[in-house]
A and B are shown apart, each in its own frame.
Chain A
Amino acid sequence: MDRSSPIVFTLDPGSGVPTYLQLIHQVEHALRLGYLKPGDQLPKVREVVAELAINPNTVLKAYRDLESKGLTAGRPGQGTFVEGTLDQIDLAGLTGLRRSLVAWLSDADESGLDQDGIVALFSSTLRDFAERRGHEGGRGALTDRRTAGGIA
């Protein structure tokens, strides 16, 4: 099949994450890892629908959300194209954060926490953190959990 886009979607039916969010996550992931660059086209709605046998309204909802986040823009008659990037912080910032994380990991290791224990502690702390931050927005934390889908 001739593809209009450099990426192609897959679905994880067992993940419990709503389909439209899975599509959004995959686009964001592709942006972070450089599979998608500004100017690239997203798969056409018709292609996604035919390939995954999912509801076109689901794809449209995902594309609308990406557009409202400023990541993509629709061009009438042509499709949806990448506009923004997801460069969150620069390399120096990333290196600094990585260093402090490694220091924390060796502390955890010395205290006798194994890998599963570290993941569990990190996940629950991240969740509490997001929850606390989300409380200004009423039920933001819980809505977050549905949108994040994969944290726990």
Chain B
Amino acid sequence: MNAVVTRDLGKRFGRVTALEDCSLEIGEGQLVALVGPNGAGKSTLLNLMVGLAKPSTGEVSVLGVPAGSGVALDGVAFVAQDTPLYRHLSAADMIHLTRNLNRHFDVAYATDRLRDLDISPGRKAGSLSGGQRAQLALTLALARRPQLLVLDEPTAQLDPLARHDFMSIVMTAMAEDGLTVVLSSHVLAELERVADYLVLISRGRVRIDGDVVSLLTRHWMLTGVPDQSPSPGWRTIQKTSAGAQQHLLVETLSDAPFPPGWEARPVSLEELTMAYLREDTDASRAALLETVR
């Protein structure tokens, strides 16, 4: 079964289109990374998945049922941006509150985790460090024993050590419970280590999505002399050139070897993402110029 399926999903706020034509299938037990510039529609898509927003067009289902339905809500946990907690409530109060607001809640898991984290139950959420606050929010989400965990920029405010510890808990939950995770992030360098599947969103549309390993084996950085013409076996995503040299970031369309004269090297997820985002910006600029003319 797929953990998340969207079909022609779209969301408008008044005249503004936040998301359109979004069709995705996300398998169980995967970690899906949602990347894209600010305002691209990432949070909108996450809100639609967890049932906090209703689609304007198309549909979205999670765990085999419509998003936002009772069954879906029981199986999905969501940690919103900036890990919001009630500042004046203690950690113990937050556990008490979350237990009473949910049908399933594993109190033993939550208290054990707090002990591991050295967060004393009496501490007010507002007095915790950024890392501890994020960990408390994550603990509350995981204690609901969800099948799908949705995280909106969970590590944006954290220092590298806190970020590592946070992801370590998420990864352990994946290893132990077969949890599916969807997270949005700007920390591209970190995603290569954690993501199975990448969804790149730009201006409300899915620009590219796919299995991370297959994306990385399909894209190459080629270096050659400027007058060398590209081959029909690939699609150029990004081109930089100077007098004696040109670099092309290409998506290969077949398994054929590169023609002689091109030097090829693998690309990182970060390079790949940046190339697509740049291509998109260039395309929109060109379209704008076209309209002006």
Closest to B192 in A: A19
Residues on A with C-beta less than 8 A from B165 are 53
Beta-carbon contact of A146 and B217 below 8 Å: yes
Q: Which of B164-209 contact A (CB under 8 A)?
A: 164-165, 167-168, 171-172, 174-176, 189, 192-196
> Please, what's the 1-or-0 string for B264-275, where 1 marks a CB less than 8 Å from any CB in chain A?
111010000000
Total B residues in contact with A, Cβ cutoff 8 Å: 30
Beta-carbon contact of B171 and A143 below 8 Å: no
Shortest C-beta distance, B266 to chain A (Å), equals 5
Beta-carbon contact of B164 and A53 below 8 Å: yes
Instruction: Choose among B176, B189, B266 the residue that contacts A145 (Cβ–Cβ < 8 A).
Output: B266
Which of B196, B213, B257 is packed against the most chain A CB atoms within 10 Å?
Answer: B257
Closest to A146 in B: B266
Shortest C-beta distance, B255 to chain A (Å), equals 5
Beta-carbon contact of B193 and A11 below 8 Å: yes
Selecting from A43-51, A70-78, A84-92, the interface stretch reads A43-51
Which of B165, B168, B220 is packed against the most chain A CB atoms within 10 Å?
Answer: B168
Beta-carbon contact of B174 and A49 below 8 Å: yes
Beta-carbon contact of A56 and B171 below 8 Å: yes
Instruction: Choose among B30, B164, B168, B195 the residue that contacts A49 (Cβ–Cβ < 8 A).
Output: B168
Shortest C-beta distance, A18 to chain B (Å), equals 7
Residues on A with C-beta less than 8 A from B255 are 138-139
Closest to A142 in B: B264
Residues on A with C-beta less than 8 A from B108 are none
Is B230 in contact with chain A by the CB < 8 A criterion? no
Which of B165, B172, B256 is packed against the most chain A CB atoms within 10 Å?
Answer: B172
Interface of A is mostly: helix
Closest to A44 in B: B175
Q: A46-B176, A50-B172, A146-B217 are in contact. Are A16 and B194 (CB under 8 A)?
A: no
Residues on A with C-beta less than 8 A from B194 are 53-55
Shortest C-beta distance, A123 to chain B (Å), equals 13
Beta-carbon contact of B175 and A46 below 8 Å: yes
Residues on B with C-beta less than 8 A from A149 are 266
Is B86 in contact with chain A by the CB < 8 A criterion? no
Residues on B with C-beta less than 8 A from A135 are 257
> Please, what's the 1-or-0 string for A112-132, where 1 marks a CB less than 8 Å from any CB in chain B?
000000000000000000000
Known: A50-B168, A53-B167, A145-B264. 19 other contacts (CB 8 A): A13-B193, A18-B192, A45-B175, A46-B172, A46-B175, A49-B172, A50-B171, A53-B168, A53-B171, A54-B193, A54-B194, A55-B194, A56-B175, A58-B193, A135-B257, A142-B220, A146-B216, A146-B217, A149-B266
Q: List 15 A-B contacts (CB under 8 A).
A: A49-B172, A53-B167, A53-B171, A53-B194, A54-B171, A55-B174, A55-B193, A55-B196, A56-B171, A57-B29, A57-B30, A138-B256, A142-B257, A142-B264, A149-B266
The 8 closest A-B pairs by CB, nearest first: A56-B175, A53-B167, A53-B168, A49-B171, A49-B175, A54-B193, A146-B266, A53-B164
